[in-house]
Homo-oligomer: A and B are copies of this chain.
Amino acid sequence: MASIFNIQILIFFFLLIIFSILRPTQQQQQHPLDPLTPSELNLVQTILTHAYPTSNNNLTFQYVGLDDPDKPTLLSWLSSHSTTKIPQRRAFIIARINHQTHELIVDLSNHSIISNQIYKGHGFPLLTFDEQIAANALTLAYAPFVASVSKRGLKINEVVCGSFAVGWYGETRNNKRVVKVTCFYLDGTVNMYMRPLEGVTVTVDLEEMKIIGFWDRLTVPMPKAEGTDYRESEQKPPFLPPLKKITVVQPDGPSFMIDGHRVRWANWDFHLSFDMRAGPIISLASIYDLEKQIFRPVLYKGFVSELFVPYMDLDEEWYYRTFFDAGEYGFGLCAVSLEPMRDCPENAVFMDAYVVGQNGKPVKMSQIFCIFERHAGDIMWRHTETAIPRTIVREARPEVSLVVRMVSTVGNYDYIIDWEFKQSGSIIATVGLTGLLEVRGSKYTHKDQIEEEVYGTLLAQNTIGVNHDHFLIYHLDLDVDGDSNSFVKSNLKTTQVPDHGSPRKSYWRVVSETAKTESDAKIKLGSKATELLVVNPNKMTKMGNHVGYRLIPKSGAGSLLSDDDYSQIRAAFTKYNVWVTPYNKSEKWAGGLFVDQSRGDDTLATWSQRNREIENKDIVVWYTLGFHHAPYQEDFPLMPTLSSSFELRPANFFESNPVLKVKPPQDVMRLNCSILKVV
C-alpha cells in the first residue's frame, strides 16, 4: 500500500516535471523576434562545446543573441497574420575560440552551426563579466599592487577593482586583448567610486589572463569616506521632511496585455525583446487607425545601438577613458533588477531576461524590464470655448501613456531607458542619467589652490568630477505605413517680402528637401530651424499629404572632440546628430560590431561614405541623444537624475487627431482605500 502510494507520488512528480517542461511552448506561440530562451541558449552552448570541447579548446562566449530573421522573411510571416510556421530560429554567437574571435550562426531547429567565421580585423568583442572579475582578482593578488596599497596606508581587503576598456590611440601594430584595471577604496562606504586609488594602473592580458603592465605613477590623498555612502541605513539626521503616501491605483488591473514578448495596449501593438548588447529592443510597433480600422506600422525596430562616453582628462590614468558602453560592456548585460515601488511605480509589471555567462550557460536576470501605465497628471488635449453665446464648452482628456523601462548600470553610471507610447501616436524615448560620477583623486581641498588644468570640478575634498559626455545613438528603423520611406528636411526659411507686396516685410515658409543619398541626411542640429520627417512617398492622406512621422529632438549636443582624435574616429557617429542609411541587416552597431579597441573602420560614418541612395527605400534613422556633463557639487556623491528625450510624432500619418475619440475617464472616481500592508 505504502509502495503503491510512493509510485503514485513518483508518477505525479514525473508528470509535473514533464508538464512544466512542456508548458512554455503550450502557453504561447513563440514569436520570431523573441529573445533566445534558456533552452535555446543551452542548446547553443551544447552545440558549441560539442564542436569545441573545452577539454582541448579555450572557448568563451562573448555574445549570444537572436539572429533576426531577414526582414523580408519576417514581413512575409507577418503578412500571413502569423499563421504560418515561424521563420527558422537562429542564434548569433561571438566567441573567443583558442584566442581568435569567431562569428557563428547556429540553426536552432536542426541544431547545427551554419556559419563559423574567424574575424581577423581590428577590434574585439564585448568583455565578459567573468574575465573582468578575473582581471580584478589578479590585480588584488599582485604583489606590487598590494605593496602600492600598503604604501598608501590602505587596507587591501577594502580595495575593489574595475576593468576598463583601453580604447585605441593610433597604435599600428596588432593589439592584444587587454583591459586596464583601476581600483577604488571602500573602508566605510559602499561608494568606492568616490574613492579612487589614483595613480595606480594595472594592465591585464585577457587571453593569457596575466598582468602585463603595472604603473604606480603618483600618490594623491584618498578622498574620505564620510558623506559618500548613499544607503538609507547610513544616513544620519536631519532628513528631508517625509512626504505623505502617494500611490497610483488601478483597481481593475492594467490596460495592457503581455503575451510572451508582445505587448498590446490601447491602440498600440509592439514586440519587446532583450539583447545582451542593446538592452531593450522595440520591434514591429504599429498603431491602430480607427478610421481605416487597421493596424499601421510605425517602427520596425528601435534600440540603443551604442553609447560613447569620453572623459576629458589627458593624464596617464585618464586619457584612455573613452568608453563604448554597449559595444565594450553590453548595455543589456549591465541591466539591473528593478525594485518595485522605487524604480517603477506601484502599477508596474516586470519581465525577466536571460544572458549567458562566459561558459555559455544562461543566467536569469530578474525584473529587468518594467512596464506600466503612466498617469502623470498631464493633459492629452483640451479646450474651453467661451465665445459661443449661452454655451460653455469644456472638453479635456487626461494623458495616460505606456512606459517600458530598463536600467543599465555600467559600473558607476545608471542609465534609465524609457520607451513611452502615447495614444496620440507619439513614441517618446527618454534617457535619465543617475548613479555615481567617475571622479579623480586630487590633492586639492579648495578651488583656490588649483592653478593647473584639472579637467573638472572640485566636488568635495580631494575629489574632482571629471568633465565628460554621454552620447546614446538610437537605431530607428522606421517603417512608416510600409517599408519604403524617404527622409525629408522641412527647412523653415525666412522669406523677404518685396516692398508694397504686403504690410509685412517677412515670413517663414516650409521648404522641404527630400534626401536623395546618405550625405543629404547628415545633420548637425542647432543652427537651422528644420523639421525632420520620415515619410512614405507612396501613401498619401485624403488631402494629398505624404504620411509621415517627425523626429523631434530635445538635445542637439554633439561631440566636441576633433575629427582626427582617435576616439572620435571610433565614435565618428557622434559627428552628426542625425544620419539616415538604407536598411542593411548587418548595420546594427553604430560603433562597429567589434568595438573594444576598434579603429573606426566599421562605423556608421564609414558605412555612410558609400553615400547610398535613401529615397523611397527601406531606411534607418540614427539619432544621437547627447549630454555634455560638466559636474556640479550636487552630483556628489550620487547624482539626481538628469533627463533628456526625443519624440517620434505622427505628421500627416493620420487624417486627423487620432485621440479625439478617446472616451474621458469615468467622472468622479473616488476610491476608498485602506492600507493592506505597510512593511
Docked-complex contact B565 and A240, CB < 8 angstroms:
no
Q: Which of A374, A436, A673 has the most CB of B within 10 A?
A: A673
B245 touches A250 (CB 8 A): yes
Docked-complex contact A508 and B312, CB < 8 angstroms:
yes
- CB-contact partner of A675 in B312, B562, B661, B669, under 8 A: B669
> CB-defined interface of A451-488 with B at 8 Å, one 1/0 digit per residue?
00101011111000001000000000000000000000
The answer on a CB contact under 8 Å between B669 and A640 is no
Partner of A243, one of B266, B425, B562, B637: B266
Asked if A252 meets B242 with Cβ closer than 8 Å, knowing A409-B386, A664-B232, A669-B346, the reply is: no
Please give, as numbers and ranges, the residues of chain B lying within 8 Å of A677 by CB-CB distance: 668-670
A656 CB contacts on chain B under 8 angstroms: 227, 459-460, 633-634, 636-637
Q: Which of A15-23, A97-105, A540-548 contacts B (4 or more CB under 8 A)?
A: A540-548
Interface 1/0 per residue, A324-349 and B, CB below 8 Å: 00000000000011011111111110
Residues of B within 8 A of A398 (CB): 341-343, 345
B residues less than 8 Å from A314 (CB atoms): 497, 501-502, 504, 507
Interface string of A647-675 (1 = CB under 8 A from B): 00111111111111111111111111111
Establish whether residues A403 and B377, one from each chain, have CB atoms under 8 Å apart when the complex forms: yes
Partner of A652, one of B245, B396, B503, B632: B632
- The reply to whether the CB of A432 lies closer than 8 angstroms to some CB of chain B is yes
Chain B, Cβ-Cβ closest to A502: B314
- Report the bound CA distance from A679 to B526 in whole Å: 50
Q: Which residue of B lies closest to A423 (CB)?
A: B240
Cβ–Cβ contact B243 & A378, under 8 A: no
Contact A246 B492 (CB under 8 A): no
**Residue among B252, B340, B661 making CB contact with A245, cutoff 8 Å:** B252
Residue A153 lies at the interface, judged by CB distance under 8 Å to chain B: no
List the B side residues contacting A566 at CB < 8 Å. Answer: 503-505
The reply to whether the CB of A399 lies closer than 8 angstroms to some CB of chain B is yes
Among A230, A372, A526, find the residue whose CB has the most chain B CB atoms closer than 10 A: A230
**Nearest residue in B to A248 (C-beta to C-beta)?**
B248
In the assembled complex, the Cα of A79 lies from the Cα of B307 at a distance in Å of 50
Per-residue contact bits, chain A 244-266, to B (CB 8 Å; 1 contact, 0 not): 11111111111100000000001
| Interface membership of A169, Cβ < 8 A | yes
CB pair A630 B531 closer than 8 Å: yes
Residue of B nearest to A525 (CB): B526
Given contacts A245-B251, A505-B565, A634-B650, contact A230 B383 (CB under 8 A): yes
Q: Is the CB of A267 within 8 A of B241?
A: yes
State whether the Cβ of A116 lies closer than 8 Å to any Cβ in chain B: no
CA distance A501 to B386 in the complex (A): 69
With A252-B245, A654-B634, A669-B346 as known contacts, state yes or no: A434 contacts B557, CB within 8 Å: no
Residue A393 at the chain B interface, CB threshold 8 Å: yes
A380 CB contacts on chain B under 8 angstroms: 640-641
Complex CA distance for A517 and B378, rounded to whole angstroms: 40
Q: How many angstroms from the CA of A446 to the CA of B414 in the assembled complex? A: 50
A interface, by DSSP: helix, strand, loop or mixed? loop
> Which of B266, B560, B637, B671 contacts A247 (CB under 8 A)?
B671
Q: Is the CB of B383 within 8 A of A434?
A: yes
Interface pair B244/A505, CB less than 8 Å apart: no
Instruction: Tell me the bound Cα distance from A641 to B378 in angstroms.
Output: 9
List the B residue with the shortest CB-CB distance to A253. Answer: B244
Given A387-B160, A391-B190, A455-B509, check contact A247 B669 (CB 8 Å): yes
Interface string of A522-539 (1 = CB under 8 A from B): 000111010100000000
- Selected contact of A503 from candidates B320, B432, B501, B663, CB within 8 Å: B320
Over the window 617-657 of chain A, the binary record of Cβ atoms lying under 8 Å from chain B Cβ atoms (1 yes, 0 no) is: 00000000000101011111111111110000111111111
- Tell me, yes or no, whether A556 is within 8 Å of chain B by CB: yes
A393 vs B435: C-alpha distance when bound (angstroms): 12
How far is A545 from B631 in the complex, measured between Cα atoms in Å? 12
A255–B244 alpha-carbon span in the complex (Å): 5
- B510 and A630 within 8 A (CB): yes
Smallest Cβ distance from A335 to chain B, in angstroms? 10
Q: A162-B387, A379-B432, A384-B336 are in contact. Are A504 and B169 (CB under 8 A)?
A: yes
A456 to chain B, nearest CB (A): 9
Residues of B with C-beta under 8 A to A342: 379, 382, 396-398, 664-665
Q: Does A411 contact B (CB under 8 A)?
A: yes
Write out the residue numbers on chain B whose beta carbons fall within 8 Å of the beta carbon of A47: none
List 13 other contacts, CB 8 Å, given A447-B544, A639-B657, A640-B657.
A238-B661, A245-B666, A249-B249, A341-B398, A343-B396, A372-B377, A378-B432, A382-B407, A384-B409, A446-B543, A458-B543, A526-B556, A666-B678
| Interface pairs A-B: 4 shortest CB-CB | A447-B544, A376-B376, A526-B526, A169-B503
23 A-B pairs within 8 Å (CB atoms) are namely A242-B663, A243-B373, A247-B669, A248-B249, A251-B675, A312-B508, A337-B394, A341-B668, A348-B377, A372-B377, A382-B434, A447-B545, A460-B543, A460-B656, A505-B561, A541-B633, A543-B633, A545-B632, A545-B633, A554-B554, A634-B649, A667-B678, A670-B676
